[in-house]
Amino acid sequence: MRKNNFFEIYDELIENIPSNLIIKDYFIGRHWSWIKTNENIGLGMTINIDSMAYSFTKSLIGKELKDVAKLTKSWNFRESSLGLAAINAYYNTFSKAEENKVDFSNKDAFDVYREIVVGKKVSVIGHFPFLEKQIKDICDLYIIERNPRKGDYPDSACEYLLPKSDYIFITSSTIVNKTFPRLLELSKDKKTIMVGPSTPITPILFKYGVSDLSGFIVKNKQGVIDTINSGRHREFFKYGNMVSLKKE
């Protein structure tokens, strides 16, 4: 990344979105946000911080997806979550997945890496469900969390822990809270895996130091909409595919 362009990754992700995709509907939920175009639905994990003013005051329906994706750069994290959903509405589609030769094995990233990380130093940005059961007993695990639970490291520990880790798993919500560029700097030359349903599944991220991607592609649009809108945010997985993409 160029030192003089903090948003270089964001800009490239946005620039590659075509201008002919239009917002049909959207929703900012407590846990997840979604954007619907005439072709797909994209997800973004909601970070409920809106201390800064919103960039938009009117409905986004009818706006170009590319323009709404620019909200990813907003310091109002609620609308930035919606911007990430817009990015994923383009990249996380079955047609793009086929183009990029995405793996549809439907496996969780931590299950995929379970045997690989044995005996290694592993940092995980974000406290994922069931993480302790999956890999805690087989590696030196450092869970780094902005809102730490008992046993978690506070997020400031990443400055110390990431450079000495062998494997680093980064939640895609770091795109929203803008820690993503710095985390990649700290993870330089490490095996870095980006994880979570709002991970953009695109090889663009490999240019910036990401090794592997693990994310989600919506299959049943209405099923995802209904579960998220009703607050049943952990049920939407059954309406899509967990996918992965590895750097060649």
Q: pLDDT tens-digit profile of 111-136? A: 888 899 999 999 999 988 878 788 88
Q: 67: helix, coil or strand?
A: helix
**Dihedral angle over CA of 230, 235, 241, 243, nearest 10:** 110
What's the pLDDT score for residue 49?
94
What's the CA gap between 157 and 178, in Å, rounded?
Answer: 17
pLDDT bracket for residue 96 (50, 70, 90): very high
Mean pLDDT of 200-221: 96
Amino acid at 219: K
Q: What is the pTM of this model?
A: 0.94
Structural fold of domain 101-219+238-246: Rossmann fold (3.40.50)
Residue 2 has pLDDT above 90, yes or no: no
Residue 28 has pLDDT above 70, yes or no: yes
Residue 71 has pLDDT above 80, yes or no: yes
What's the pLDDT score for residue 11?
98
**Dihedral angle over CA of 56, 58, 59, 62, nearest 10:** -90
CA-CA distances (angstroms) from residue 216 to 44, 78, 92, 104, 239?
11, 20, 7, 10, 10
Mean pLDDT of 74-93: 97
Structural fold of domain 8-98: Enolase-like; domain 1 (3.30.390)
Task: Indicate the domain borders of the chain.
Answer: 8-98, 101-219+238-246
What's the pLDDT score for residue 133?
80
